[in-house]
Amino acid sequence: MRYIIHLLLIGSCAGCLPAFGQGKEKTVLLDYYYNNEHKDSAGVRVRYHYTWEDKANSGFSLWGDIFRQHGLRTDSLPVAPTADGLKRASIYIIVDPDDERESPSPHYPAPADIRAVYNWVKAGGVLVLMSNDSANAEFSHFNKLAERFGIHFNLDDRNKVVGHNFEQGAFILPAGDSIFKTTHKIYIKELSTLRLSGPAKPHFTDHGDVIMAVAKIGKGTVFAVGDPWFYNEYISGKILPAEYENYNAANDLVKWLITQIKVL
C-alpha cells in the first residue's frame, strides 16, 4: 500500500508541488563517469546502478522523480567534470565511485577534475558526495576529491544488517533538524563514516560517528554521506517497514539542496 501511495504522489504531483524559485528549471547533474557500471540485459550491455534511468531496486529513478517534482531538470555527466561540463549544473551528485571490482576500466578523479569541481563549488555550485561501504566503493582516489572540502570517507562498514533485522540500520534524527525537517527515523545500512577537517562540519552524528556532513566553500555547499541511500530499494515503500521514512528524507534533502543554489 505504501508503494502505491508513493507512485500516486509521483504520478500526480509533478507541477503541483510548490515551485521553488531557486529550483525551477535548474539542472541536477548525476555523475556517470566515476560510477559507470554495466550489466548484460538480453545480450546487450546496459548501464545501471544509481542512474536516473534504472527503475529496478538498484536505480535512482524515484529520486529523480522527486527532483523533477520540485522543478529541476535531471541530467547526467558521462565524462570527467570540467568547467564547461559543470556550467549547466546547479547541483552535481557523485555516487559510489567504481574500482576494479565494479568496472574493468574505472575512472578516478584526476587533479584537473578535482580543480574543476572545487572551483565550481566555490563559485556557488551544490555538490552531493555519496560513497558506500568498504566492500562496494573506491576510496583512495575519491577521497582526494572529498578532502578538498575537508571530508574523508573512512574505509569502514557501519550498520551491518543481517537479513531483515532492519533495526540494525536505523538512525533517529533529532527533532528540528535543519535539513530533514519532516523526517524522524531513517534506514541506512553498511555505510562509510566520515572524518572531517577545515570547512566541513558534522550534520548528523551517532555514537561518536559522523554520518552526514556539510561544508561551505565560497558561495557553494557540499553535502556528504557514506551511502547511496536513496536508491529505489529503500524509498519505494516495498521493502522497509512504514516506520522508516527514507522517502521523506529524500524529499527533505532535495528541498534543502534547492535552498543552497546560488546563481552561478
Give me Rg for the CA atoms of the chain. 17
pLDDT of residue 9: 44
Please say whether the beta carbons of 133 and 96 come within 8 A: no
Please say whether the beta carbons of 2 and 242 come within 8 A: yes
Has residue 16 got a pLDDT over 50? Answer: no
Has residue 166 got a pLDDT over 80? Answer: yes
pLDDT of residue 226: 97
Please say whether the beta carbons of 91 and 257 come within 8 A: yes
User: How far, in Å, CA of 124 to CA of 26, rounded?
Assistant: 13
pLDDT of residue 176: 95
Q: What is the average pLDDT across 50-67?
A: 96
State if pTM tops 0.85: yes
pLDDT of residue 263: 63
**Out of 3.40.50.300, 2.130.10.10, 3.90.1150.10, 3.40.50.880, which CATH number does the structure's domain 2-8+25-161+171-260 have?**
3.40.50.880
pLDDT of residue 11: 41
pLDDT of residue 22: 58
pLDDT of residue 40: 74
